[in-house]
C-alpha cells in the first residue's frame, strides 16, 4: 500500500512509474487516491487496506492526514512494516518521532527526486520492508539491514 499526501502527489506519469516498478516485482500496489465508501471514513479505509498489505509505504513529506492514519495503523500492526519516505530538504512532521520507537517503522528513506525514488525502489523501499516482513515470519532476511 502506498500513501502519498495530496500536496506532494507526483504527476500521473510518475505515479504510474512507481506502480509499474512494484508490479515488475510481483506486488499489487494500492495507491490510496480514491473516494471512500459513504459508510466508511478515510481512516477506517486506510486501516483496512493496511491490514491486508504486506507492507505500507508512507511519504511523510508535507504530511497532512498521514499522521492520523499512521496513528491508527502503526501501534496495532507489528507484522506490517511501514517504510516512511521523505523528500530531501524536508523535515519530518513534529510528532513523527513517536513512531520511531516501533521496530516495524523502518528507517526513513530520504530521496532527492521522484526519479531517484523510482530507481532505488527495490533497494531502499521494498528491500527493507521485505527483510522486516521475513524476520517477523521467522525467515532469514535476504540481506543485512543497518540498525538505528
Kindly state the cell numbers that stand for 41: 471514513
Q: The C-alpha cell of 24 is what?
A: 515488475
Q: What is the pLDDT of residues 36-83, one digit of tens each?
A: 667 777 788 888 888 888 899 988 988 888 898 899 899 999 999 999
pLDDT digits (tens, 9 = 90+) for 85-137: 999 999 999 899 999 999 999 999 999 998 899 899 999 999 999 999 889 88
Instruction: Tell me the pTM.
Output: 0.79
Burial class (CB in 10 A: 0-12, 13-18, 19+), 147: exposed
Amino acid at each position: 500500500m502506498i500513501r502519498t499526501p495530496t500536496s506532494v502527489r507526483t504527476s500521473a506519469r510518475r505515479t504510474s512509474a512507481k506502480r509499474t516498478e512494484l508490479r515488475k516485482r510481483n506486488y499489487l500496489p494500492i495507491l490510496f487516491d480514491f473516494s471512500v465508501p459513504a459508510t466508511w471514513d478515510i481512516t477506517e479505509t486506510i486501516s483496512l487496506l493496511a491490514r491486508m498489505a504486506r507492507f505500507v509505504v508512507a511519504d511523510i513529506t508535507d504530511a497532512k492526514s498521514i499522521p492520523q492514519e499512521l496513528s491508527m495503523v502503526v501501534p496495532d500492526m507489528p507484522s506490517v512494516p511501514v517504510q516512511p519516505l521523505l523528500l530531501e530538504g524536508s523535515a519530518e512532521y513534529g510528532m513523527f518521532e513517536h513512531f520511531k520507537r516501533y521496530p516495524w517503522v523502518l528507517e526513513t528513506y530520504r530521496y532527492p527526486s521522484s526519479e531517484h525514488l523510482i530507481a532505488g525502489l527495490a533497494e531502499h523501499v521494498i528491500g527493507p520492508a521485505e527483510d522486516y516482513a521475513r524476520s517477523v515470519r521467522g525467515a532469514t532476511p535476504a540481506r543485512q539491514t543497518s540498525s538505528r
